[in-house]
Amino acid sequence: HSIKGRQAFSPVIERLQCGSMQHGLDDFGAFWEFHGYGIVGIYKQDWDRFGGMNYEMFKDKWGGEDIEMVDRILMAGIELERRKVIGFSHYFHTKKGMWNNRS
């Protein structure tokens, strides 16, 4: 769904809570993650055009890096395609043990 020089892709995925079953968008604590942009498909030329991941700002913290990156993609004039991808799931995980135990 990416078009070089014009469009990137960020799928809308199923967010599964701890203990959820895959493909369980009902009583299992799963929902569509419309506000998450953690997965992005983009051509390398376009990645370079908007400056890529902001490693300096987000080198030791979790949260906001996807929104900050998407903002820069859009400011660079690249559209962002979003579609639900059935069966593409993200299992919730805690921050415990990440970034030198500073979480």
pLDDT in tens, 5-27: 999 999 999 888 766 555 545 55
From residue 20, give the alpha-carbon distance in Å to each of 13, 45, 59, 91.
Answer: 14, 38, 30, 8
Q: Given this model, what pLDDT does residue 88 score?
A: 85
Q: Given this model, what pLDDT does residue 60 score?
A: 78
CB 54 within 8 A of CB 65: yes
Q: Given this model, what pLDDT does residue 34 score?
A: 92
Q: Given this model, what pLDDT does residue 103 score?
A: 45
